[in-house]
Structure 1
């Protein structure tokens, strides 16, 4: 029987979500012994994103026989939301064990209205348009957002600049995080902090001056999180 995980939708809707089709925004990639891709869906005027997986599993000490990665992503979405870290709202998550295809899963989230990933924002001239003072506030907000995540012992696990989404329309910059299927809770805050900050530093377009602004925002929320970097 299908297993559905949602606070809003009855438990018998896995097949309904699985059968919905939309535009591929991430073509299915074959990896981890299975495949995973993302489609954009239009539902009652709202834009949703559906991650669809077949046999796309990770293994750990707790799950030596494998577990669909969307279940790890679901846990991260719910946990980070409670920590005050902006992430896409979870609409539905369900899995089933198909007799021919094996484990299948679908995870549906709402689009982040008005957000775009920071590299896209830079490419469109966002920095020049907002000015250096507001850009410094953005960097500090990115740092503060990451600190709230790491303070809860959560590690993003695949933190590139393209996974940082920004919205600059208001007086204060807003930041959200995406692509959490490699996220996990570490035994210590410092391990989560070291992993994410070092990884982001390697995979970001920011200068040393920009990075110092990010660390300033980080330290305001999690003062001890920068030790050992």
Structure 2
């Protein structure tokens, strides 16, 4: 279903919320029940051809010291999208985010982002395109860009909290000697800032190590590039 979000961009927030709430498309993540409510993601296409992802939630909240009564998780994800973008960390472009209570005082919440055109999961890229296929220089450049992206996030004290390879995407811009990798991170619903950059880094990098299919040589290469940007090595990850 087409969504004319270029027109909606100038509308009042309440009108934009109702507009996006009433749009429907293909489910890419069927609504699941958790956190006291439901959450799912639909794919819709804007009138200008841009593919959008609409996360739709009802009563789906998290609690924290700052929000003991509960707050929609998309608001935490919006904060992360904005915070990471300020650190030059690749994330989906935010189109709209909003939350309101229905007549029964239950939260309804929306997060609308643009698709990451041309990107693919890094594990798929890693499995299907070996260094021999596209050259050692580009293979190494991907790990260098990934390391720099993660280090910038962690130096800003942001912890992804769900750093699995399926949430790391890569796109190669250009061809031949002009090819340059670009990294983007998805699924920031659990992302939060820690008091310590080192704690954020330890959590995420250990999680990535457990779940990635990187060879020992490539993992050590990633750590080498990472610590040059982060500024210090991380214990227990060698």
Common fold by TM > 0.5? yes
1:207 counterpart = 2:215: yes
Aligned to 2:81: 77
Displaced runs of 4 or more, over 3 A: 6-9
Say which is worse superposed, 35-44 or 219-228, in terms of deviation.
Answer: 219-228
Answer whether contact 1:47 1:110 (CA < 8 A) is retained: yes
Aligned to 2:180, what secondary structure does the other structure show? Answer: coil
Separation in structure 1 between the aligned mates of residue 194 and residue 10 of structure 2, nearest angstrom: 29
Answer whether contact 2:9 2:16 (CA < 8 A) is retained: no
Q: What number of residue pairs does the alignment pair up?
A: 223
Answer whether contact 2:165 2:212 (CA < 8 A) is retained: yes
Separation in structure 2 between the aligned mates of residue 9 and residue 112 of structure 1, nearest angstrom: 25
Relative distance call for 1:43 and 1:202 in structure 2 (3 A) is same
Aligned to 1:3: none
Structure 2: which 5+ runs fail to align? 1-7
Separation in structure 2 between the aligned mates of residue 60 and residue 225 of structure 1, nearest angstrom: 31
Separation in structure 2 between the aligned mates of residue 185 and residue 8 of structure 1, nearest angstrom: 31
Answer whether contact 1:149 1:155 (CA < 8 A) is retained: yes
Separation in structure 1 between the aligned mates of residue 102 and residue 21 of structure 2, nearest angstrom: 12
RMSD: 1.8
Aligned to 2:99: 95
Answer whether contact 2:81 2:94 (CA < 8 A) is retained: yes
Once the two structures are superposed, what CA deviation does each residue of 1:92-122 show, in whole Å capped at 9, x if it has no partner? 0011101247101010001111111112334
The equivalences for 1:145-184 within 5 A come to 145-170=149-174, 171-184=179-192
Aligned to 1:138: 142
Once the two structures are superposed, what CA deviation does each residue of 1:63-95 show, in whole Å capped at 9, x if it has no partner? 111111100000000000000101001000011
TM-score, normalization: structure 2? 0.88
Structure 1: which 5+ runs fail to align? 1-5
Aligned to 2:112: 108
Aligned to 1:188: 196
Aligned to 1:182, what secondary structure does the other structure show? Answer: coil
Separation in structure 1 between the aligned mates of residue 141 and residue 40 of structure 2, nearest angstrom: 34
Aligned to 2:4: none
